[in-house]
Structure 1
Amino acid sequence: MNTRNRHIDALRGAAILCVLVLHFALAYGLKNSPLGILPGWLIQAAYQGNYGVTMFFVISGYLITSTSLHRWGELARIDLAAFYLYRIARLLPALLLALSIIVLLGALDVPFFANSDGGKDLPASYFIIAIASVLTFWHNLLMQSAGYFNYCLNVYWSLSVEEMFYLLLPLCCRVLRQRHWIMLLCGAAIVAGPIYRSLHAGNEIYFMYGYLACFDAIAIGCLTALLAQNVRLGARSAWWLRLLSSLALALLYVRGIDGHEIFGFTWIAVASAAFLTGSMVAAPARQRRPGPLQWLGRHSYELYLFHIIVLAGMRNVVDKAGLAYAERLPWLALFLAATALAAALVARHVTGPANAAIRQRFRPAVTATPSCVQ
């Protein structure tokens, strides 16, 4: 049975769209295009895509916590083997495919795939270190020491943050056991986030990519799931909450990150949590065809992994200087379409089959994970 929540899918779809537009804007720019007629503040909003990553963190914290509560009743009863198996089955197959493509093209010294970002020329052995850091959840730390060094691998810093969360959550829950201690730990992470960002506000690799810079958003998602069990909203109240939180997200997004490095991410996380709270009363979308945002949300992981590979390939065909004014919007449309096609193919032929095969092979007695968890 399909248990997806269309509102959560839409929020996730909006988040990944923010990331896609950001990376295209960084690669090709938007001002020297027909979009240049738009107000400058609206053009500038395209460069705030890291707020979309914060939205992802909140959604991840919320979904993993709520699904674990549904499956095991209490977080202290999480089956460690089953939990890690679910995460490996969902995340690893597509990630290994993406990394294989990057390594192959990087080994051939194809621009934007090799370790030459930012004018660096790192030795080939650094590829091994970089891939290992992605697979062992500390690529963000590697970037803090090496800077931006590989165009494709750079974006996987956020996966290291989420994977570290997946690693630590069940362990912390089994150790702390009592719900109030788990909530207190979440509260500590929420307090630590702005403090850490205030200490590194001048370095984006630290205030955006560090574990402590991001764990507060995940903790807000976890707390939302824990507190949601005691919240009962009517359909009308939930609709208003979704509307108001959507407006808050839009206003915060347009306001931007610059000058709001400390608390901007916190407020984006709080607004996202409010939207998730307003989504709890929504019935699962069982027969309705997903809209564009819902489709993007359902394929957000594959879009995240492969959009940068598509974009790197396109940059090898035409660079920013070679793209004419009238060509920028069609090039953006081509980027979005090619990324969507790649994500759909990977989801259909890699992620889905591998996910099912791994679960069946190693945990045949476990009930399938609800499809709302990505």
Structure 2
Amino acid sequence: MATLQKSVGASRVPVSIEDVRAAHGRIAGSIVRTPTLLSKTLSQLTGATVYLKFENLQFTAAYKERGALNKLLQLGEAERARGVIAASAGNHAQGLAYHGARLGIPVTIVMPKLTPTVKVQQTEGHGARVILFGERFDDAHAHAMILAEQEGLTFVHPFDDPYIIAGQGTVALEMLEDVPEIDMLAVPIGGGGLISGSLVVAKAQDHEVGVVGVQAELYPSMYAKINGVTLSCEGDTLAEGIAVKQPGALTSEIVRELVDDIVLVAERDLEQALALLLQIEKTVVEGAGAAGLAALLAHPQRFAGRTVGVILCGGNIDTRLLANVLLRDLARSGRLARLRLRLQDRPGALFNVARVFDEQQVNIIEIYHQRVFTTLPAKGLITDIECETRDRAHLDRLVEALGREGYEVTPVELA
């Protein structure tokens, strides 16, 4: 790897645009050159001109295989014969396993014991040896380092490696070659490999290209490090692919030197972005893959009037989680609702309520009665009715109609 490279102020960045171009030359024949396409509808929604880079169309459904392949291609014959090892429960594992199998390089992946079975099976399906160790990622990482030394394996870091960074930078290289008018990139940040490579490419252009990093509010590790503050990194985030508690040392320095801004997005923003991408673009992304669009939705003033490249960095999402996100989006838009009504426990009570729903042309999906565990008198009951409406205005008309009939109605709201 070259030693320079792009001087910025008094410091030197250890990955150059030449490194990224060389990486692209190595890997181009073995990865998908994913399209970069204009989204007219998302542009109208956000006030920016939005181009999407569909990295969820890679064979392993994520950009991670770019850096993994570039690293593998740098190994000597002896290193290839001994094999490589990594600690990962996500896209890095699959990218490394897939290209290792293609190149005939043995791959070992250490995953925490609680890794979902489907991820274990997917990684094994690419021919990798999977070892389950420890309860947390840090445990798996430590064990992988021990095995690397014991077995003479090359450890492949998921982000804090110059060859990984150069490989990930090929995403931005393709975007700016395909759409030179892009003047800002919105890039998800986990450990920092993707944004580091994107920064190297962006700052080597002959016109100004801003780079805004995006992190989930629950895991603001890079944001905290760059801004010199202490913030908690924990919780169940939809963007598990960028839920990194400790960013890389190398990536942190590149980001500190070159990034224009880092913004945080809430879980609600991630859910909305994921749902919009499916509804508008007909494309499935994971939580991390929705982070760039989530930033445009949550911070529109930061991107207004700019031509923005958004990287849809991955599409590996559990189908049950995807269904849950889409149903929650329907609920927030008013198309799906749960209404809690207080009724008297007498014949015809539910029939009279259903009559109002029929008059308003609202579809009833489920009805839940609660007679015992309530604070009401013995002859009272609480009924929750899940229903489907056309939009928020339709739901409001239903609630008003129920009120006119004398019913006490309380919508059950989402967090």
Q: Under TM normalisation by the shorter chain, which class is it?
A: under 0.3
**More strand as a share of residues:** 2
Structure of higher RCO (CA pairs closer than 8 Å, 6+ residues apart): 1
**More helix as a share of residues:** 1
Given the two structures, how large is their TM-score scaled by the length of structure 1?
Answer: 0.24
